[in-house]
Amino acid sequence: MDDETIYRKNRDDLIRYATVLVGPGGAEDVVSTVILRILARRRLDDLDEPRAYLFRGVLNECKTRLRRRRTHLNITEVGGIPADDPRHHVIQAVLDLPPQQRAATYLVYWAGLTVAETADLIGIRPGTAKRYLHLARRTLKGVLDEY
């Protein structure tokens, strides 16, 4: 599979993944940065697991950007949810999760991957992925109970 095919096959998934991690405004920029960084060193079709490599790259780039801004992603950057909407608190709680936990919950609960597949895409052990899921569920349960 050539570079263009790999890119086209994964682009939309990567954009959605980056949107969940840094918001819609920065998603395309994150993906382009990751592609550039990889291609500065090697070709995509030289990679053993290009999809996993790209997903890990996107998560790392998002973590770097979130560290740099020093504030959590705010729901107002996502838009479309009135402050009095009960979903407001829940979605903000999801955005407040550490990026690794958000990535794990997104891949399992939205993308429908198994814990093992999720661990592979994030570049962690399955046990660590399970721990991220447990911590994220606990956090969101607290918010659901409160509101």
Among 47, 115, 135, 140, binds another protein (CB under 8 A): 140
Contacts of another protein in 92-111 (CB under 8 A): 94, 105-106, 109-110
Per the structure block, which two tokens stand in for 15? 């954009």
* C-beta closer to another protein: residue 14 or 124: 14
Q: Does 33 bind another protein (CB under 8 A)?
A: yes
Question: In sequence order, what are the residues at sequence separation of 6 or more whose Cβ sits closer than 8 angstroms to the Cβ of residue 49?
Answer: 120
Q: Does 11 bind another protein (CB under 8 A)?
A: yes
Comparing CA positions, the residue from 24, 27, 31, 20 lying closest to residue 101 is: 20
Per the structure block, which two tokens stand in for 65? 């950007």
* C-beta closer to another protein: residue 52 or 111: 111
Strands (E), 38-129: none
Long-range contacts of 111-118 (CB under 8 A, 24+ apart): 111/13
Q: Which residues contribute to the site for another protein (CB under 8 A)?
A: 3-4, 7, 11-12, 15-16, 19-20, 24-29, 31-33, 35-36, 39-40, 77-81, 87, 90-91, 94, 105-106, 109-110, 136-137, 140-141, 144
